[in-house]
């Protein structure tokens, strides 16, 4: 793992309010998922959960760097990306509960979260399938000359896929304002990169393309934020896509809410290594070290916890979709 002094210099330039905002969103994301872990056994959320826990810094750092000036598409491990982009835990829990106040009136579930107004253009249950969609959105932005970027999130498993390589070439050939964000947790379900990839380094391959390449292995949200800001600037000024390879770590099983730390594909050294630099704790410690009062942080946390409780209550009391809604949204509807 590398420690870059340049990177530390970058993060020092981050204003205090941004640091706090990053923590707020990290905390929101983590606590929403902890709530899921807590109430999933009640069986009221009938949707398979691909949990972001451990990986939140990627979504939060990138989405905060994009802000309202861009769009994102997530993989099926969509919770952190959705929450980081929208901060809307109400619609989030509504959707997980299959209720009408959800992001898709309950039709999408955990793998298909979206909020178009807030630049969350969707998430898909098919590995790598969102990447070309992001290219299309970026192409539209380029045509409109609106200065927006599109970030497409995917795991390292997606880089095994044909669609990833086709998209990378197309984005570079067409000089699209798109950020490829690889959430590199080294795992496709239970399979390590070394068992799937014949090449030594993905970024070495990607460097063969006409794009900008960034790497980060800090799990530090501010580092990821700063790196993304830098990437966006260059994407917009140089007119080429950027590829961000961000090393991270998945705490839970690939699908479901349980820990699987003792599963044979895991290593306890790796687990300890990453949990010792948990992204939420890192940012909390940074705030304390920078002089933010502990009470202020606790207050912020309490507010978020209450809002999550409220979101869950709202979801539980929201209406189920009505039978008439079954066919709504099919492209060709009976006129």
Partner 1 sequence: MTTEHSTRLKNLLRTTLLIRRVEERIIELYPSDRIQSPVHLSIGQEPVAVGICASMAPQDLLFTTYRGHAYYIAKGGSLPKLMAELYGRSGGMSGGKAGSMHLAAPDVGMMGSSAIVASTIPHAVGAALATKLRSSDQVSVAIFGDGASEEGVYHESLNFAALHHLPVLFVCENNALAVYTTLAERQAYEMQSHAETFGLSTTVVENGNDLIEVADTTADLLEKIRSGSGPQWLMVHTYRYKEHVGPGDDFDAGYRNRADMDRWLASDPVLKWPELTQSFEDDVAAEIEEAVAFAEASLPPTADDLLTHVE
Partner 2 sequence: MHEQESLMTYREGLAKAMHDAMEHSDKTIILGQGVADHKGTFGTTLGLASKFGDSRVIEVPLSEEGITGICVGAALNGLYPINTHIRADFALLAMNQLINLAAKYKYMFGGLFEVPMMVRLVIGRSWGQGAQHSQSLQSLFAHIPGLTVIMPASPGAIIDTYAHAVAHHRGPVISLEHRLMYDLSFSSANEPEILGETPFSQRRVARGDDVTIVSTSIMSLEARRAGEWLLDQGISCDIIDLHCVSHIDSEVILESVNRTGKLLIADTSWRPFGVAAEICRIVCENHPGALKAPAVSLGMAAAPCPTAKALEDLYYPNLTTLTDAIAKLVVGKDDHGIKLPSEASMADVYKRFKGPF
Footprint on this chain of partner 1 (rule: CB under 8 A): 160-166, 168-169, 171-173, 195-201, 204-205, 207-211
CB contact at 8 A, 8 and 59: no
| Binding-residue pattern over the window 30 to 69 for partner 2, x denoting contact by CB under 8 A | ---------------xxxx---------------------
Nearest to 181 by CA among 143, 222, 142, 232: 232
Partner that binds at residue 98, options partner 2, partner 1, none, CB closer than 5 to 8 Å by kind: partner 2
Neighbouring-strand partners of residue 71: 150
Q: How far is the CB of 264 from partner 1 (least distance, A)?
A: 21
Q: How far is the CB of 186 from partner 1 (least distance, A)?
A: 15
62's CB contacts (< 8 A; 6+ apart) are 72, 84, 151, 153, 179, 181, 224, 225, 228, 244
Q: CA 113 to CA 44: how far, in whole Å?
A: 18
Q: How far is the CB of 274 from partner 2 (least distance, A)?
A: 20
Q: How far is the CB of 67 from partner 1 (least distance, A)?
A: 28
Which residue's structure tokens are 């927006």? 148
Neighbouring-strand partners of residue 149: 70
Partner that binds at residue 130, options partner 2, partner 1, none, CB closer than 5 to 8 Å by kind: none
Q: How far is the CB of 114 from partner 2 (least distance, A)?
A: 12
Q: Quick one: 145 exposed, middle or buried, by C-beta within 10 A (0-12, 13-18, 19+)?
A: exposed
Interface ranges with partner 2 (CB under 8 A): 45-48, 98-99, 102, 105-112, 124-128, 157-158, 160-163, 188-191, 195-197, 263-265, 320-323, 325-327, 329-330
């Amino acid at each position: 793992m590398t420690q870059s002094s340049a990177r530390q210099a970058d993060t020092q330039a981050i204003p205090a309010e941004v640091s706090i905002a990053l923590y707020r969103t990290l905390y929101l994301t983590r606590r929403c998922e902890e709530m899921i872990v807590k109430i999933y056994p009640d069986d009221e959320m009938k949707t398979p959960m691909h949990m972001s826990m451990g990986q939140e810094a990627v979504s939060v750092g990138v989405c905060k760097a994009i802000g309202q000036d861009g769009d994102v598409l997530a993989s099926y491990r969509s919770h952190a990306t959705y929450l980081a982009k929208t901060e809307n835990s109400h619609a989030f829990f509504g959707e997980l509960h299959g209720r009408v106040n959800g992001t898709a009136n309950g039709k999408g579930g955990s793998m298909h979260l979206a909020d178009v107004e807030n630049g969350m253009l969707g998430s898909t249950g098919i590995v790598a399938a969102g990447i070309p969609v992001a290219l299309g959105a970026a192409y539209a932005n380029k045509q409109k000359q609106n200065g927006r970027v599109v970030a497409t999130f995917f795991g390292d498993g997606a880089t095994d896929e044909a669609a990833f390589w086709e998209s990378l070439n197309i984005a570079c050939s067409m000089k699209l304002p798109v950020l490829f964000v690889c959430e590199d947790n080294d795992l496709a379900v239970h399979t390590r990169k070394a068992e799937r990839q014949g090449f030594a380094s993905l970024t070495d391959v990607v460097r063969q393309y006409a794009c900008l390449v960034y790497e980060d292995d800090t799990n530090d949200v501010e580092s990821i934020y700063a790196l993304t800001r830098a990437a966006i600037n260059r994407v917009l000024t140089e007119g080429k896509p950027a590829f961000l390879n961000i090393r991270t770590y998945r705490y839970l099983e690939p699908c479901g809410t349980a820990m699987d730390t003792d599963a044979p594909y895991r290593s306890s050294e790796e687990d300890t290594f990453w949990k010792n630099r948990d992204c939420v704790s890192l940012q909390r410690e940074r705030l304390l070290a920078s002089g933010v009062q502990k009470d202020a942080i606790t207050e912020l946390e309490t507010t978020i916890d209450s809002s999550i409780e409220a979101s869950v209550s709202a979801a539980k009391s929201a209406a189920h979709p009505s039978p008439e809604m079954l066919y709504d949204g099919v492209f060709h509807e009976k006129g």
